[in-house]
C-alpha cells in the first residue's frame, strides 16, 4: 500500500482539532492543532463563534501542511443539527445559533402535542430540543424576512466544505440529524418541510460521503489539496471507525459530551415503541441506517464540576478523583440520563439534586460522589438503550464497542459492562478523526471500502476488554 496522507478537521462542541493521518501498513495519526470550543451567550440566546472556529481550522491546516508537505486531501466533520443560512453570494444572513439555545422550547412542546407521529413516520427522528427542524421553524416564524434573504441552508460541515471548495452541498449523514430527511429515501421529506414551514429551496439533494468536491480554493498554502466530503456528522465518523465484526452482533457507543448508543441496520426502526424510546434513525455516510439513542454523556460531569471550586486540573488530580470514586459504594438511586432537564441547566448540580429528590434519593456529599453517580447512571442508561435496540430491531448483541473520551474511563466502561451483562471493548483510537480519514482514503482509492478499512484496522488497535462482574 502506498502511503497517502490526509487531514481531518474534527470539530466538537467542546474542542476541535486538526489531525493528519497517513495510510500505510497501519494508519499513523498526528494531532497538529487542538483548540477549545464553546458556545457563547448574547442576551437570552446562545451562538457559535464561527469566524473564530474557521481561524483555528486555518491555523491547523497551515501547521499540517508545514509538517506534512504532501497532504492529498482534507475532510470536515462536526456535531449535528447546527447550520448557517446563506444568500446567493454565500454570505451569512442569520447568526449561527447553538443547539442548546432555549429558543426551540415552544416548538418542542407544540410538536409533542400535535403531529409528532406523522413527523416520526416521515423522518424517523424523535422530538428533541436540538433538532434542526425546530431551529429553522423558529427562524421562519419569528424572523420571517430571513426566508426572503436566505437561498441556501448548509449544516456546519457543509459550510466549512464550502469555505474550502466553493461548492454548496448537503451531505447525507449530517442531513439525517435534522428531522427533515425522508426516512425511506435519500432526499428531503416534503411532508416535514411543509409541516415546519421551511422553504424547500434552501436544500439540495444530499450527496454521499467519499465524494470529491475539487481542489481547495482561496488557500494558497493548500494548493493541490483536494476537498473531500466525509461523513459530516462526527458520530457517523466514529461509528465508521469501529472495528465491527462483519457477522454483526456489535453495539456501538461513542462516549463523549453525549453518549450515542446505536448499531448498523438494513432498515430503519420505526413505530410507536421506537418513538417512545426516542430512537433516531440517522444515516451512515454511504446512506445506510444507524439507529441510535442519544443520552446525556460526560457533559453531566463536565458541568457538575463547575459547581465545585476544587475541580481536578492535572492528570494527577484526575487520577486521585478516579481512585476516590472507585472506593465509594454504588449509589442506591440512579439518574435518568435521557432526561432533557440536563440539556443546559443553569446549575447541573442543582438539576441532579432535584431529580434525585423526586426519586427520594440523597444528593452526593462531594465531587467523587457525583462522579460515581454519573458513571453508574450512564452505564445503566447505555444498557437500557442496548436492550431497547435489541428488542425493537430484532437483534442479538454479543459485545459493546466503545470509542471516545468515555472509552478511556475505566469506571464508566466497567459500569456499562456490569449493567449490560456484556463485555465492553474500549478502543484507544481517535474515532471521529479516523472515520473522517477513512472516508478520504476510500475516495482516493487507497482503500476499497469501509469493510476493508475495518478489516485492516482491527489488528492494529490497542483495546481493553471489561468483562461484566456478577
Which residue numbers are catalytic? 234
Give residue 81's region: left, alpha or beta (phi > 0; psi -120 to 50).
left
Secondary structure class of 239 (helix, strand, coil): helix
| Closest by Cα among 351, 374, 353 to 362 | 353
Strand partners, 46: 41
* Centroid of chain to Cα 327: 32
C-alpha cell of residue 325 = 470514586
* Residue 38 φ/ψ, nearest 5 degrees: -165, 145
Give Cα separations from 323 to 24, 155, 330, 470 (angstroms): 39, 41, 14, 22
282 DSSP 8-state letter: E
Give the whole-angstrom CA distance, residue 87 versus residue 446: 37
Q: Is the dihedral of CA 285, 287, 289, 295 positive or negative?
A: positive
Residue ranges of alpha helices (H) inside 241-362 are 272-276, 299-304, 315-326, 348-358
Give the whole-angstrom CA distance, residue 392 versus residue 416: 20
* Centroid of chain to Cα 305: 22
Give the whole-angstrom CA distance, residue 432 versus residue 404: 8
What distance separates the 2 farthest-apart alpha carbons in the chain?
63
Pairing mode of beta strands 4-11, 71-77: parallel
Count the Cβ atoms, other than its own, within 10 Å of residue 360: 8
Amino acid at each position: 500500500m502506498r502511503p497517502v496522507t490526509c487531514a481531518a478537521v474534527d470539530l466538537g462542541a467542546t474542542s476541535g482539532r486538526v489531525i493528519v493521518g497517513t495510510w500505510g501498513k497501519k494508519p499513523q495519526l498526528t494531532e497538529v492543532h487542538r483548540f477549545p470550543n464553546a458556545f457563547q451567550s448574547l442576551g437570552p440566546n446562545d451562538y457559535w463563534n464561527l469566524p473564530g472556529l474557521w481561524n483555528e481550522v486555518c491555523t491547523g491546516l497551515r501547521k499540517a501542511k508545514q509538517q506534512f508537505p504532501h497532504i492529498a486531501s482534507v475532510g470536515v466533520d462536526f456535531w449535528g443539527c447546527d447550520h448557517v443560512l446563506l444568500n446567493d453570494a454565500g454570505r451569512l444572513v442569520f447568526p449561527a445559533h447553538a443547539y442548546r439555545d432555549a429558543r426551540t422550547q415552544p416548538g418542542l412542546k407544540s410538536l409533542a402535542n400535535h403531529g409528532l407521529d406523522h413527523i416520526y413516520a416521515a423522518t424517523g427522528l424523535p422530538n428533541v430540543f436540538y433538532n434542526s427542524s425546530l431551529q429553522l421553524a423558529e427562524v421562519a416564524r419569528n424572523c420571517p424576512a430571513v426566508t426572503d434573504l436566505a437561498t441556501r441552508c448548509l449544516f456546519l460541515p457543509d459550510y466549512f466544505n464550502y469555505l474550502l471548495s466553493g461548492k454548496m452541498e448537503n451531505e447525507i449523514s449530517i442531513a439525517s440529524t435534522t428531522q427533515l430527511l425522508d426516512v425511506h429515501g435519500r432526499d428531503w421529506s416534503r411532508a416535514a418541510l411543509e409541516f415546519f414551514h421551511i422553504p424547500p429551496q434552501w436544500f439540495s439533494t444530499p450527496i454521499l460521503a467519499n465524494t470529491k468536491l475539487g481542489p481547495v480554493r482561496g488557500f494558497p498554502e493548500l494548493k493541490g489539496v483536494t476537498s473531500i466530503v466525509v461523513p459530516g456528522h462526527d458520530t457517523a465518523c466514529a461509528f465508521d471507525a469501529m472495528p465491527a465484526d462483519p457477522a454483526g452482533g456489535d453495539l456501538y457507543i461513542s462516549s463523549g459530551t453525549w453518549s450515542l448508543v446505536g448499531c448498523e441496520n438494513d432498515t430503519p426502526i420505526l413505530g410507536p415503541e421506537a418513538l417512545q424510546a426516542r430512537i433516531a434513525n440517522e444515516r451512515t455516510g454511504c446512506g445506510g441506517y444507524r439507529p441510535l439513542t442519544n443520552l446525556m454523556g460526560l457533559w453531566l460531569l463536565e458541568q457538575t464540576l463547575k459547581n465545585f471550586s476544587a475541580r481536578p486540573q492535572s492528570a494527577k488530580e484526575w487520577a486521585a478523583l478516579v481512585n476516590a470514586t472507585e472506593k465509594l459504594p454504588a449509589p442506591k438511586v440512579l439518574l435518568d440520563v435521557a432526561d432533557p432537564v440536563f440539556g443546559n441547566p443553569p446549575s447541573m448540580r442543582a438539576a441532579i439534586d432535584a431529580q434525585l429528590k423526586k426519586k427520594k434519593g440523597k444528593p452526593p456529599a462531594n465531587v467523587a460522589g457525583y462522579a460515581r453517580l454519573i458513571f453508574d447512571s450512564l452505564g445503566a442508561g447505555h444498557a437500557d438503550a442496548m436492550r431497547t435496540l435489541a428488542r425493537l430491531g430484532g437483534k442479538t448483541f454479543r459485545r459493546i464497542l466503545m470509542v471516545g473520551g468515555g472509552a478511556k474511563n475505566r469506571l464508566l466502561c466497567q459500569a456499562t459492562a456490569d449493567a449490560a451483562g456484556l463485555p465492553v471493548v474500549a478502543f484507544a483510537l481517535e474515532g471521529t478523526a479516523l472515520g473522517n480519514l477513512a472516508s478520504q482514503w476510500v475516495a482516493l482509492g487507497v482503500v476499497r471500502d469501509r469493510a476493508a478499512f475495518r478489516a485492516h484496522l482491527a489488528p492494529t488497535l490497542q483495546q481493553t476488554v471489561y468483562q461484566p462482574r456478577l
